[in-house]
Amino acid sequence: MKVKIFGSRGSITYSGKPYKEYGGNSSCTVLDIDGSIVILDCGTGLLQFYEDYKDRLTPESKIDILLSHLHLDHIIGFSMFPPILSPDTGIRIFTRSRTDEPLVSQVFGIYKPPYWPIDIADVTKAKVMEIADEKPFSLGNGITVTPLFLELHNNASVFRVNAEKSVVYLLDYEIQENMDKQNRLIDLCKNTDLVILDTAYLPEDYPQKRGWGHSTYEDGFALAEASGCKKMVFSHISQIYTDKALQAVQDKLDASRFSIAYDGMVIDL
């Protein structure tokens, strides 16, 4: 399994010289599992994925998308992602239902007039599939996904993807505000090969952001210790942190187990 992070920022994209090394695209991670493509969230990093993979994509290409939640920074990549509008698309999108609207309308709800020229929900041929809490499902090719709903104010879902290796994707989650729910989360992460964890803020800034739905790398240490995960990558980093600030943190980490995500990062499992 090859894991590539195409977007490592949260909330808003950012660019400029101070962001050259770690990048500024919003959340998008891609798992390449023996040619099967699993996309975790569709922030602006989705567009770089398309540029890198477009010569390999055909109408028969199987692409599965797992959406953790529907905040703008996690779905904005749909706006310029050609396969979404292809009449021959093989895309399946998996997410939880949050309102009484049809699920396809929930996913593409902002992409309609007056906010967008067309109503994507009316024209997309992508299949939008509803998931259920702790109900594993198969993507084929030996890939299974277990979602976990932690009933956060962000309505985010956690995903554990199992193939020959395992990855837990855990963004927009605030560990310190949800201590009563940690047993389920620890069980999901137990002995996994890689956890990708939301650490939007540094510990010294977290008190001012408490209740916003994000964690710190110190929370990650505690989760890693409790779950026994083999590697952890800290992602969904706030745009307020420049390359210099993030490198200073990385220099303090045990790089054999903990890393700060950057756009273009590849992890071979």
pLDDT tens digits, 127-158: 999 999 999 999 999 999 999 997 666 789 99
Q: List pLDDT tens digits, range 74-89.
A: 999 999 999 999 888 8
pTM of the model: 0.96
Q: Rounded to an integer, what distance in angstroms lies between the CA atom of residue 262 and that of residue 269?
A: 17
Mean pLDDT confidence for 35-58? 93
- Which CATH superfamily includes the segment(s) 2-268? Ribonuclease Z/Hydroxyacylglutathione hydrolase-like (3.60.15.10)
DSSP letter assigned to residue 27 = S
What's the token pair of residue 228? 């026994």
- With a pLDDT cut of 70, the percent of the chain lying above it is 97
At residue 177, the pLDDT reads: 80
Cis peptide before 87 (omega within 30 of 0): no
Strand partners, 198: 235
The pLDDT score that the predictor gives to residue 59 is 66
Backbone φ and ψ for 99, nearest 5 degrees, come out as -135, -175
Task: For residue 81, give Cα distances in angstroms to 3, 53, 76, 109, 132.
Answer: 20, 12, 9, 16, 27
How far apart (Å, rounded) are the C-alpha atoms in residues 248 and 268?
A: 24
Residue 266: strand, helix, or coil: strand
Which pLDDT band, with edges at 50, 70 and 90, does 26 fall under? very high
Question: Which of 104, 87, 84, 86 shows the shortest CA–CA distance to 95?
Answer: 104
The edge-to-edge listing of strands for the beta sheet with 265-268 is 127-130, 91-95, 63-66, 36-40, 28-33, 2-7, 265-268
Q: Where are the domains of the chain?
A: 2-268
